[in-house]
Structures are given as structure tokens and as C-alpha cells.
């Protein structure tokens, strides 16, 4: 077991190096010179050379990449200087990640709760009443959820529930703790401001989960042990709770962990439209301004999050299923 | 399994509690930010800054035009552009110092700093405050864009200061309340340059910090109370300000990185009062009924253009092809791509409003003149066009493709993000024929257009602003001669060069001068609206609430 865990962790480290290296190379292949951001748009070659030398941007990319990795090791991944500073506003990336990660976490975790709230009952009812009106309604919901882009949904939600009905604020974020001076904050404001983003973020996943839960429940209902339980005279709700749902939801719960880790991709759109100061919004802006350190900071954070969740899931699999250990 | 079910149930319970909490919050409170009190003075203005953050608010580092709209509120300069519309707003007036005495050879400027100005901390503004501001910007440990050679490169001791050999610019001396600046060569644009935000008064001991200070003492009408990068800035009235600039509002709260569409709805509903980041292009036409009430349109000192690569061997090395392009491009269609009220058509380099500009109507601005274009160029050919990859640029690319096809020229359109486009097109020898570009001046002088963008002596291996690679000996000489002139003679000389370049050599297809389109909530009093023409933005110091 220990060897298995060590092997998974080593693979995660290799993957981390590969992902960050590829990101670095891509940026250096893009023909844009960040020195102009420091020296100014009317800079002479001498002005540019001074700025490049000051920030070490005149060195080859592999030297800069090595320094990037060295900083991660010497300062620790969460150290202030570990991820360097933004080319655009020269602020330390680590402090930006620390302030923005909770916003993204609020969106992704709250969204996950929301999509499970929607998907579990709809999926189960669809499975219990196949081809019924509810099942067909669920199919329509699934089609809309998969087809509608989050940006489109967000704008519609903002217009209807924010601008027309005044039920929710038109975008913006309220901190759960320590809001900026004069700004709304606290748990209630946080939830109120996040409600529409959660809905937007959740709909795609909810649609997918409805189909998965429906299929899983139908499959489990046909298992021998369910038939046996019924034959033994167990009440239907006991069969449903103890035999069907327990087994049908097992793969769903496992998938949930993976999808939460991957949720950062979907968060990009939702954060942008709702003006949520999270990592997704930051990543988009850094790409537009060729701010390599910020992009790398978000890549490092996202890669670490996905790899950690992957390792945890792999280890849990090994704990649950002995066949994994043998493999 | 038991644990997993427990997790699912817990998640369900948490979600339900959040829903309940959300509904209570919606019923009990209002949106973030509060409206200011009514009246000509006082109150809070809630500003959004969509799709971006300040680059910096630190006077030595701030360089983005949207940041300067806000640093204009807090900086005290030797001379400044007043809070007035054109033409008064384009004329430098005394601010922290009286108008200077200039030596006969144009190399010595003597400023007498006014008494009575104080920073918000109570510290008195002196001549040393301005000298410190200049030295701090020149310090290589600041890595300030204000240290570019083009700004104060003519001041004695510049080279030593930017090289780090000294922390003080030897050409800048202080004696009592007198600040003397000595130049190594006369620079008629010097007063415009020394009035840049980089050279504002700073308090004693302001740290040398290449990351920039977020909050600092200011001597202008306002000061930065707080700045949370990526989130919010709060700007408040300087209680010690005794100058003549307006300062109607008590406080300006800037919410950063909002979304344009979401922000537009906020301003319409009064949850915010103004978006300094702009307007969604598709929504602008709907604001026409509010023109002059909540919606304002003003011309910027800016030109949008297509740089025609005149390098030897490229398609547009032939002047007839360049003139044909100027005839063939449909300027109204190019402008329409930017949305309603987006700008004014042009065919010249200098924007209207720049001293020296005169409208000569050289090329058709009412639409393409295909016949004349064909008469100038009938050989056909294929060109490579570098365009932006967002918004209006995508439509404009199609317009150009159609326009050039009309005269038998095929186009290979290549789309890039702005940073990549300028970097590629700014590299000498890059294989392109047209680069879509825009330019607004750093300081209001025609040299900051013509000399920077079209003087062939400024062409380098990389980082070029002369994207046409236009290098014409007679124009270079004319530009060098104009650079030493001053007053009306200078303006006339640059105006003549603008017309000569456009009509005789046509290295650009200039097509519009962009407008600033500003939309305010109904809480803002339109009577207080002032457009500051040099900063090309609404003057927030003048704004007031109803």
C-alpha cells in the first residue's frame, strides 16, 4: 500500500513538472515581449535592455523556468514570492491566489451542492418512472443544460432576476469574511450574491448528473440483490434506501470529487460574467495581457488541486477495491 | 458507504440552508454600495472599472490611460491641464507652481512653487516634493515607464540617473521654493512632458518600490484611501486641499474587474453610477435618447489606422498601391464595426483637436472610391493583414477583405491578441503588409504622433511604433526641424507634415478618431459633466450628484 501511494505521488510530481513546463514553453513561443510592459510603449532599445536585465527577462526560457521551479522549492508553493509577480501590476502572484481562491471555491463548492440538489431527486424520479411526464421533462432539462452556454445563461439570469425582478444583485461578490470597507459582506450577503452564479455554474453538471443517476438507479434496480430483497418482503422504501440508492449513488459520489476539481474550467465563464474576483477571471485577463506569471500561478494552483484530488481518489479506490492494489 | 451517504445528506442540508439564507438576505438588504446624498457637493460616486484593474495608482508607475483618469484626481503637478472642456482643458495652466521662467536658449526652466498646498497628511508641499517625485521616477529601482528617454531624456544628468550611478538628477535643483530644471538641449515640448503624472509632488520618504505603493499621501483634490488589488479602490477628498480644482464628491468607490454587460445593467438600475471601463458596443445605440442627460460622447486625441508596410520588397513599398488602399477602404464601414457613436471618420494622422491639425479631405471618407483605387492600382496581388482577434476587429477584417477584393487584391487575414499583434508588427522584417493599430498620445503634442510613429530615424530591430516602417528622408528632416520649433510655428509645421505625409506618401490608411462614450446613472447631475480632453475621460473631480 505504501509503495502504491509513493508511486502515485511521484507520478503526480512528474505530471506537475510536465504541465508547468509545457505552459512555460507555450508562452515563450508566443511572439510578444513582456519587457514593453515594464519599459513603456515608447521605450528605446536601451530602455528595454535596462528593464529586461533588471527583471532577468533577457535570459533563455530554460533558465527562467529553472528559476521558477527553484522559487517553488525555496519559498514553498504558498510562499509570498514562490510564484513571482505579475508583469502587468507587479503584485505577488501568491497573494493574488490566496485572495482569489476562496472566491472560486465558493463558486465551485456551492455550485456542486446546487447541482446535486437538482440532479439527485430528478434523476431518481426519472429512473423510477421511465417514459413518464417527469422523465420526459427531465430529458428536456438535460438538453437545455447541456446546450446552453454559461455566458448566455448568466446574462439571461442577470437580466431577469437582477435587473427586472430585483430579486438578486446584478453581479458582484460579497465576502463571507472581512468584506472591503463599505461593501456588503457576511454569510447572508455572500449566499445572496452567489445564488445566481451557483445556478449558472450548476446547470450543465446537473444535466449530466441527472442522466448518470437515472442510468445508475435503473441498472441497480435490475440487480439480483434488489430482487432478493423484494422477494424477502422488504418494504419498497427500505429497498430503495438500503439496496438501490446506496449502490447507485456510489459511482456518482466518486465522480463528484473529480468534477469539483475540474470545475475551475467552467468557473472561468461564470466568474467573468458575474464579476466574481476569482481565479478563472484572473486567468482570462492574464492571457489577454500576456501576463505569464499570473497564468503560471493559476496553472500551478489548478494543477496542484487536480493532482491532489486525483491522488486522494486513487488511494481511496485502492482502499475500497482490493483489485486496484493488485494492479 | 455509510460515510458517503452521510456526505451526500450533509451536502443536501448545506445547500438547502444556503437557499434559505439567500432568500433571507435578498429580503433584508440592498446591493453593495450606497447612493450618495443629494446635492451639488458631497456624496459617494460608485464607479465600476470593467474588464481591467489599474496598472498602478503610484504616480511613478501608473501609465494606463484608465488609471490616469483616477490619478488625475490625486496628483499635484507643477503645471496641469484644467478641469475644463476643450479648448481651455487642453491648455497647460499653473497648478503647484507658477508658470515657469524659461531662459532664452530654452534650456533652463525656473518654477516657483506656490505656498499653501498640503498633502492629505498635513505635510506641506515644497519644491523638494516635486524634485523627489522626479528623482523617484528616474530611480532604476523603480523601473518606471516614466524614465523612458523620450520624456526627460533631455534633462542634465538623465543618463547617470537611469543607469543608477546617482539617485538624484543633477539637472534638477531646489533652492527654497524655487525648482530649477536644466536641459542639455532645448525641448519645446518639455512643459507637456513635465506635466505628466510621473512627475507629481510626492511626500517625504515615499518608498522606492518597483511594485508600487497602493496608498500614499497626495496633494491633489483627492487621495487614495485604500486599494485592494483586483477588488476595490476608495478615493476620498483631501481635507487639506486649498487649490482651485473642483472636488465636489466626498468619495469615489471603484469596483474593479466588473463585466461590461453586468456593469451596464448596474448603471441602468442605479446600483452603480458609471463604468470607467466602457460600454457594451451593442447597447450604445439604445442610449441615444439619453444623450446629454445621462449619456455623453466626446472625441479623444486618438487615431485608428492601418499601417501599410513600406519596407523594400513588400507590397506597399509602391506609393501607388498605398494611395489605392486609401481610396479602396470603406471608412464608414470600418467605423460602423465599432458600434454607435464610436468615432469620427478621418484620413489623416493627427486627430482633430491636436494643435496643428487641419482637415484637408485628401481621401474619401464617405465611402470607398473603387474606380479611383483601380485607376491607381490595377495589378492585383496578395497581401498579409494583421488584425486584432476581438470585437470590432473581426468585422473590420471582413470589411477589408471585401474592399481589397474589389480592386483585385487577395488578403490573408491573420488575427492576434493585441500584445502579440504589436510585438510581431513592431519587429523589423516581419512579413506583413497591413497592421491594424491605434495611437493616443502620452502628452498633447503633435510630435508624440508624427515623430514617434513616422520618423524613419526611430526604426529599431524590435519594439517599433513606426509600424509602416516609413523612412522618408525629406519627412525625417522636416520632423527634426519641427521638433525645435515652439508655439504657433511648431503647430503649423507639424500640421503641414501631417498633410504632406498623407497626401504624398500615404503610409497609413487612417480611418477614425475614436469617441469616449460615457453613461451615468440617473443620480449623477448632467450639469456637472466635464470631459477632460487631454486625459480623454470624464473629469471625476467635476462630477456631482443630484
Taken in order of first residue, the domains within chain B and their CATH numbers are 74-199 (3.90.76.10), 303-515 (3.10.105.10)
CB B83 within 8 A of CB B246: yes
Tell if the CB–CB gap between A100 and B462 is shorter than 8 Å.
Answer: no
Q: Which helix (H) or strand (E) holds B100?
A: none
Residues of chain B contacting A31 with CB distance shorter than 8 Å: 420, 423-424, 427
Out of A281-290, B9-18, B38-47, which region has the weakest mean confidence (pLDDT)? Answer: B9-18
Taken in order of first residue, the domains within chain A and their CATH numbers are 2-93 (no CATH), 96-320 (1.10.3720.10)
Instruction: Give the bridge partners for B307, in sequence order.
Output: B435, B508
Place of cell 510630435: B447
Tell if the CB–CB gap between B32 and A172 is shorter than 8 Å.
Answer: yes
DSSP track, B467-491:
TT----HHHHHHHHHHHT--HHHHH
With an 8 Å Cβ cutoff, is B462 touching chain A? yes
Which of B140, B226, B420 is opposite residue A31, by nearest beta carbon? Answer: B420
Angstrom distance (rounded) from CA A52 to CA B372: 48
Tell if the CB–CB gap between B15 and A187 is shorter than 8 Å.
Answer: no
Angstrom distance (rounded) from CA A184 to CA B289: 33
Out of A66-70, B205-209, B444-448, B533-537, which region has the weakest mean confidence (pLDDT)? Answer: A66-70
Residue of B nearest to A110 (CA): B15
> A170 vs A36, B276, B522, CA distance in Å?
36, 17, 17
For residue A302, pLDDT beyond 90: no
- For residue B284, the 8-state DSSP code is G
For A175-208, the pLDDT digits (tens) are 998 887 777 889 999 999 999 999 999 998 999 9
CB A16 within 8 A of CB A24: no
- Which pLDDT score is estimated for B10? 45
Residue B201 is placed in which grid cell? 509632488
Select the residue from B388, B442, B463, B466 to test the A interface by mutation, using most A Cβ atoms within 10 A: B463
Cα angle B526, B528, B529; round to 5: 70
**What is the sign of the dihedral through the CA atoms of A226, A232, A237 and A242?**
negative
Tell if the CB–CB gap between A32 and B420 is shorter than 8 Å.
Answer: yes
CB B155 within 8 A of CB B183: yes
Which of A116, A166, A281 is opposite residue B12, by nearest beta carbon? Answer: A116
CB A142 within 8 A of CB A209: no
With an 8 Å Cβ cutoff, is A160 touching chain B? no
**What is the sign of the dihedral through the CA atoms of B159, B161, B162 and B165?**
positive
- For residue B520, the 8-state DSSP code is B
Out of B14-18, B206-210, B434-438, which region has the weakest mean confidence (pLDDT)? Answer: B14-18
For B372-393, the pLDDT digits (tens) are 999 999 999 999 999 999 889 9
Q: Which of residues 307-326 of A touch B (CB under 8 A)?
A: none
Out of A16-20, A288-292, B232-236, B336-340, which region has the weakest mean confidence (pLDDT)? Answer: A288-292
Residue (of A157, A173, A196) closest to B31 by Cα position: A173
DSSP track, A69-122:
HHHHHHH-TTSTTTT-B-TTT--BHHHHHHHHHHHHHHHHHHHHHHHHHHHHHH
Tell if the CB–CB gap between B8 and A253 is shorter than 8 Å.
Answer: yes
Q: Which of residues 174-213 of B touch A (CB under 8 A)?
A: 210-212
Share of chain B above pLDDT 90, in %: 89
CA-only gyration radius of chain B, Å: 26
Q: Which helix (H) or strand (E) holds B212?
A: none
SS3 (DSSP) at B155: strand
Q: Residue B87: is the preceding peptide bond cis (ω within 30°)?
A: yes
DSSP track, A271-305:
HHHTT--SHHHHHHHHHHTT-HHHHHHHHHHHHHH
Q: Mean pLDDT over residues A259-277, rounded?
A: 85
Q: Output the average pLDDT for chain A.
A: 88
For A61-111, the pLDDT digits (tens) are 899 999 988 988 887 766 778 889 999 999 999 999 999 999 999 999 999
Select the residue from B8, B10, B14, B25 to test the A interface by mutation, using most A Cβ atoms within 10 A: B25
For residue B212, pLDDT beyond 90: yes
Q: In this complex, how many residue pairs, one in chain A and one in chain B, have their CB atoms less than 8 Å apart? A: 216
Angstrom distance (rounded) from CA B97 to CA B199: 13
CB B114 within 8 A of CB B97: yes
Tell if the CB–CB gap between A31 and B145 is shorter than 8 Å.
Answer: no
- Our CA-based measurement puts residue A43 at a distance from the nearest CA of chain B, in whole angstroms, of 6
Select the residue from B11, B262, B426, B437 to test the A interface by mutation, using most A Cβ atoms within 10 A: B262
Q: Output the average pLDDT for chain B.
A: 92
Q: How confident is the model at residue A251 (pLDDT cuts 50, 70, 90)?
A: confident
Q: Mean pLDDT over residues B87-107, rounded?
A: 96
Residue A293 is placed in which grid cell? 506569471
- Our CA-based measurement puts residue A205 at a distance from the nearest CA of chain B, in whole angstroms, of 15
CB B154 within 8 A of CB B257: no
Residues of chain B contacting A191 with CB distance shorter than 8 Å: 18, 21-22, 25
SS3 (DSSP) at A21: helix
Angstrom distance (rounded) from CA B335 to CA B355: 24
Tell if the CB–CB gap between A116 and B8 is shorter than 8 Å.
Answer: yes
Tell if the CB–CB gap between A180 and B228 is shorter than 8 Å.
Answer: yes
How do beta strands B409-416 and B381-388 pair?
parallel
With an 8 Å Cβ cutoff, is B104 touching chain A? no
DSSP track, B259-274:
-HHHHHHHHHHTSSSE
Q: Mean pLDDT over residues B223-236, rounded?
A: 95
Q: So what's the ipTM on this one?
A: 0.84
Q: Mean pLDDT over residues B310-336, rounded?
A: 97
Angstrom distance (rounded) from CA B427 to CA B422: 8
- Which pLDDT score is estimated for B13? 46
Residue B474 is placed in which grid cell? 525629406
pTM: 0.87
The alpha-helical segments, DSSP class H, found in B43-163 are 65-74, 127-138, 149-152, 158-162
Non-local CB neighbours of A140 within 8 Å, separated by 6+ positions: none
Q: How confident is the model at residue A320 (pLDDT cuts 50, 70, 90)?
A: low
Place of cell 427586472: A164
Q: Mean pLDDT over residues A145-156, rounded?
A: 91
Angstrom distance (rounded) from CA A139 to CA B114: 75
Residue (of B28, B33, B524, B542) closest to B295 by Cα position: B524
Select the residue from B261, B452, B462, B464 to test the A interface by mutation, using most A Cβ atoms within 10 A: B261
Q: Mean pLDDT over residues B337-348, rounded?
A: 96
Which of B5, B29, B234 is opposite residue A181, by nearest beta carbon? Answer: B234
Q: Mean pLDDT over residues B497-521, rounded?
A: 98
Q: Mean pLDDT over residues B315-338, rounded?
A: 97
For B266-309, the pLDDT digits (tens) are 999 999 999 999 999 889 999 999 999 999 999 999 999 999 99
With an 8 Å Cβ cutoff, is A250 touching chain B? yes
Tell if the CB–CB gap between B148 and A90 is shorter than 8 Å.
Answer: no
Angstrom distance (rounded) from CA B470 to CA A287: 31
Tell if the CB–CB gap between A180 and B230 is shorter than 8 Å.
Answer: no
- Which pLDDT score is estimated for B459? 95
Q: Which of residues 21-80 of A touch B (CB under 8 A)?
A: 30-33, 35-36, 38-48, 50-51, 54-55
Q: Which residue has the higher pLDDT, A25 or B5?
A: A25
Residues of chain A contacting B21 with CB distance shorter than 8 Å: 187-188, 191-192
Q: Which of residues 118-147 of B touch A (CB under 8 A)?
A: 140, 143, 145-147
Find the farthest-apart pair of alpha carbons in chain B and give their distance in angstroms, rounded. Answer: 91
- Which pLDDT score is estimated for A322? 61
Amino acid at each position: 500500500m505504501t509503495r502504491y501511494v509513493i508511486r502515485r505521488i511521484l507520478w503526480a510530481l512528474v505530471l506537475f513538472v510536465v504541465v508547468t513546463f509545457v505552459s512555460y514553453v507555450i508562452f515563450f513561443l508566443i511572439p510578444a515581449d513582456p519587457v514593453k510592459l515594464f519599459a513603456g510603449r515608447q521605450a528605446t532599445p536601451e530602455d528595454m535592455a535596462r528593464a529586461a536585465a533588471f527583471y532577468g527577462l533577457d535570459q533563455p526560457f530554460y533558465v527562467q523556468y529553472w528559476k521558477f521551479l527553484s522559487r517553488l522549492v525555496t519559498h514553498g508553493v504558498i510562499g509570498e514570492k514562490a510564484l513571482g509577480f505579475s508583469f502587468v501590476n507587479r503584485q505577488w502572484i501568491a497573494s493574488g491566489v490566496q485572495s482569489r481562491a476562496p472566491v472560486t471555491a465558493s463558486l465551485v463548492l456551492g455550485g456542486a451542492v446546487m447541482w446535486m440538489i437538482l440532479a439527485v431527486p430528478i434523476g431518481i424520479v426519472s429512473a423510477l418512472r421511465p417514459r413518464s411526464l417527469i422523465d420526459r421533462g427531465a430529458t428536456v432539462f438535460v438538453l437545455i443544460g447541456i446546450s446552453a452556454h454559461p455566458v448566455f445563461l448568466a446574462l439571461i439570469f442577470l437580466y431577469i432576476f437582477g435587473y427586472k425582478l430585483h430579486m438578486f444583485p446584478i453581479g458582484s461578490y460579497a465576502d463571507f469574511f472581512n468584506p472591503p470597507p463599505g461593501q456588503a459582506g457576511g454569510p447572508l450577503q455572500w449566499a445572496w450574491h452567489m445564488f445566481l452564479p451557483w445556478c449558472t455554474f450548476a446547470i450543465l453538471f446537473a444535466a449530466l448528473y441527472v442522466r448518470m443517476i437515472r442510468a445508475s438507479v435503473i441498472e441497480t434496480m435490475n440487480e439480483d440483490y434488489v430482487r432478493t430483497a423484494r422477494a424477502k418482503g422488504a418494504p419498497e422504501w427500505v429497498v430503495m434506501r438500503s439496496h438501490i440508492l446506496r449502490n447507485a449513488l456510489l459511482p456518482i459520489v466518486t465522480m463528484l470529487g473529480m468534477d469539483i476539481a475540474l470545475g475551475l474550467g467552467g468557473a472561468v465563464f461564470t466568474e467573468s460574467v458575474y464579476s466574481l474576483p476569482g481565479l478563472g477571471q484572473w486567468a482570462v485577463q492574464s492571457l489577454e495581457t500576456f501576463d505569464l506569471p499570473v497564468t503560471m500561478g493559476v496553472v500551478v494552483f489548478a494543477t496542484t488541486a487536480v493532482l491532489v484530488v486525483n491522488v486522494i481518489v486513487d488511494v481511496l479506490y485502492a482502499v475500497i477495491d482490493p483489485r486496484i492494489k493488485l494492479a | 458507504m455509510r460515510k458517503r451517504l452521510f456526505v451526500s445528506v450533509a451536502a443536501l442540508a448545506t445547500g438547502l440552508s444556503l437557499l434559505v439564507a439567500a432568500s433571507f438576505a435578498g429580503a433584508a438588504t440592498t446591493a453593495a454600495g450606497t447612493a450618495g446624498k443629494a446635492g451639488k457637493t458631497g456624496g459617494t460616486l460608485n464607479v465600476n472599472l470593467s474588464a481591467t484593474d489599474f496598472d498602478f495608482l503610484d504616480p511613478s508607475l501608473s501609465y494606463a490611460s484608465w488609471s490616469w483618469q483616477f490619478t488625475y484626481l490625486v496628483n499635484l503637478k507643477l503645471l496641469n491641464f484644467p478641469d475644463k472642456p476643450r479648448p481651455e482643458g487642453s491648455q497647460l495652466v499653473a497648478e503647484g507652481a507658477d508658470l515657469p521662467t524659461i531662459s532664452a536658449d530654452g534650456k533652463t526652466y525656473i518654477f516657483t512653487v506656490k505656498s499653501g498646498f498640503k498633502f492629505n497628511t498635513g505635510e506641506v508641499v515644497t519644491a523638494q516634493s516635486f524634485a523627489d517625485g522626479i528623482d523617484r521616477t528616474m530611480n532604476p529601482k523603480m523601473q518606471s515607464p516614466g524614465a523612458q528617454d523620450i520624456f526627460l531624456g533631455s534633462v542634465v544628468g538623465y543618463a547617470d540617473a537611469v543607469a543608477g550611478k546617482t539617485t538624484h538628477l543633477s539637472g534638477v535643483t531646489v533652492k527654497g521654493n524655487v525648482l530649477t530644471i536644466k536641459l542639455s538641449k532645448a525641448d519645446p515640448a518639455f512643459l507637456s512632458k513635465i506635466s505628466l503624472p510621473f512627475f507629481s509632488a510626492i511626500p517625504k520618504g515615499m518608498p522606492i518600490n518597483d511594485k508600487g505603493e497602493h496608498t500614499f499621501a497626495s496633494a491633489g483634490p483627492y487621495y487614495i484611501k485604500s486599494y485592494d488589488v483586483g477588488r476595490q479602490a476608495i478615493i476620498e477628498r483631501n481635507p487639506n486641499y486649498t487649490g482651485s480644482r473642483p472636488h465636489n464628491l466626498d468619495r469615489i468607490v471603484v469596483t474593479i474587474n466588473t463585466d461590461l454587460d453586468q456593469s451596464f445593467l448596474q448603471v441602468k438600475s442605479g446600483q452603480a453610477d458609471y463604468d470607467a471601463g466602457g460600454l457594451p458596443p451593442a447597447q450604445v445605440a439604445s442610449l441615444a435618447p439619453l444623450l446629454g442627460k445621462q449619456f455623453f460622447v466626446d472625441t479623444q486625441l486618438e487615431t485608428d489606422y492601418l499601417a501599410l508596410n513600406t519596407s523594400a520588397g513588400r507590397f506597399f513599398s509602391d506609393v501607388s498601391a498605398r494611395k489605392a488602399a486609401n481610396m479602396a477602404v470603406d471608412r464608414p464601414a470600418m467605423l460602423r464595426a465599432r458600434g454607435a457613436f464610436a468615432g469620427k471618420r478621418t484620413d489623416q494622422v493627427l486627430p482633430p483637436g491636436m494643435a496643428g491639425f487641419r482637415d484637408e479631405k485628401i481621401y474619401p471618407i464617405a465611402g470607398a472610391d473603387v474606380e479611383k483605387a483601380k485607376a491607381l492600382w490595377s495589378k492585383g496581388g496578395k497581401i498579409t493583414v494583421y488584425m486584432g482577434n476581438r470585437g470590432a476587429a473581426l468585422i473590420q477584417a471582413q470589411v477589408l477583405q471585401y474592399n481589397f477584393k474589389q480592386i483585385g487584391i487577395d488578403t490573408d487575414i491573420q488575427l492576434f491578441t493585441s500584445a502579440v499583434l504589436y510585438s510581431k508588427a513592431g519587429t523589423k522584417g516581419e512579413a506583413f503588409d497591413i497592421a491594424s493599430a491605434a495611437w493616443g498620445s502620452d502628452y498633447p503634442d503633435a510630435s508624440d504622433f508624427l515623430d514617434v510613429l513616422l520618423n524613419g530615424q526611430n526604426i529599431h530591430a524590435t519594439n517599433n511604433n513606426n509600424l509602416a516602417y516609413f523612412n522618408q528622408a525629406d519627412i525625417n528632416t522636416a520632423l527634426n526641424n519641427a521638433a525645435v520649433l515652439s508655439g504657433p510655428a511648431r503647430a503649423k509645421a507639424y500640421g503641414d507634415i501631417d498633410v504632406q505625409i498623407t497626401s504624398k506618401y500615404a503610409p497609413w490608411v487612417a480611418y477614425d478618431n475614436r469617441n469616449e462614450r460615457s453613461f451615468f446613472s440617473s443620480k449623477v447631475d448632467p450639469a456637472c459633466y466635464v470631459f477632460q480632453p487631454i486625459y480623454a475621460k470624464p473629469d471625476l473631480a467635476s462630477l456631482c450628484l443630484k
